Amino acid sequence: MNLPLLGLITLSALACAACGTATTVEATATSAATAAPAVPIASPQDAFFDRLTAHCGQAFEGRVTAEEPPAAASDPFHGQRLVMHVRECAPREIRIPFHVGADRSRTWVVSRTGSGLRLKHDHRLADGSEDPITRYGGDTVGEGTASRQEFPADAESQALFSANDMAVSNTNVWAIEIEPGQSFTYELARPQRLFRVEFDLSAPVASPPPPWGASKAE
């Protein structure tokens, strides 16, 4: 047999084998990439909403940690037991009644919008009807973080405040902070005013009675 010709045939066979191996590796890599799409990363607002939802059904006791200017003795929070209850959780809305002693008029409503989150205050009278000052709050204007979201007063709330001689509240910015298993904090801030109440998430308490008007709100 012609030896040069044999060598040429052998080299050609080896080259083809290498080509086949490279093609197989490339195809396998392409298949793996196609089979494993990237997992979307949750936004800070989604993570925040999920943190709230994780406490659904639980109630927690709290205390006022900031009050500027200092509250008078006649303040409705003075000397009262403060309890929040993550009572209703849906994919797009969470309702959190806030009990001040025997007063069950307040519910915080956190909901999803097309561009972020919204906080509204649902205030009820003892007979379940709406308080004249209710449904106020605002939407997030930035991403925030998984542990803190801020809600500046929206135009609807500002109109409500102005119509009821409460224009000082037009610059309100509410915030909610949550550290899972540690604390939940509700905050109201505006120039020369700061109010914060913090709840201990490490020690759930018995669920309080339904908030006023619960049957109408659900």
188: exposed, middle or buried (Cβ count in 10 Å: 0-12, 13-18, 19+): middle
Domain ranges across the chain: 1-35, 44-217
Predicted pLDDT at 36? 56
By residue count, the chain amounts to 218
pTM attached to this predicted model: 0.81
Peptide bond into 69 cis (omega under 30): yes
pLDDT at 5 over 50: no
The fourth-level CATH superfamily of domain 44-217 is Calycin beta-barrel core domain (2.40.128.20)
- Tens of pLDDT along 70-113? 988 778 888 899 999 999 999 999 999 999 999 999 999 999 99
Of residues 49, 62, 40, the one with CA closest to residue 145: 49
CB 186 within 8 A of CB 65: no
